[in-house]
Amino acid sequence: MNEFRVWGVEERSYDHMVNFAINEDGSLMMGDCMGFEFCEEGKYIPEKSTGLRDKNGKMIYEGDLLKHSYVSINGKLVENIITVKHSGYTFYHEPQIDHVGLRYHNDKLKIIGNIHDQEVEG
């Protein structure tokens, strides 16, 4: 099952709409048991869940900003900030860092915000 969250551009917040659908062309529809209507283009931005959780157990979505922290072989703390992206059938992150894989390193990843935030957590 695909899980999404929806960013409301005007509201500047996430609307966890239960009753929405995404068409093959990417357009968003909202509705209820009486039927669905097209949403105004650009009013909402759907973001897909990766199905993975960060080290605190929070679901990681497309558009999240993650902090990847680890201790290098020199004993120094290294921290990278990456953005989760989705393309077609796969998730990836930018910048691309060779040793960071979402699936294999999610125990070292912490959600610190998202692409819509003005500020991020520490």
Q: Give the start-to-end residue ranges of the domains of the chain.
A: 4-114
What are the strands of the beta sheet with 77-87, ordered from one edge?
Answer: 90-94, 77-87, 64-71, 109-114
**pLDDT tens, position by position, for the chain (122 residues)?**
578 888 888 888 886 555 777 777 777 777 766 666 767 777 788 888 888 899 999 998 989 998 888 888 899 988 888 888 876 656 656 655 554 556 656 677 899 999 987 554 55
Nearest CA among 69, 49, 77 for reference residue 110: 69
CA distance 54 to 105: 9
**How many whole angstroms separate alpha carbon 71 and alpha carbon 69?**
7
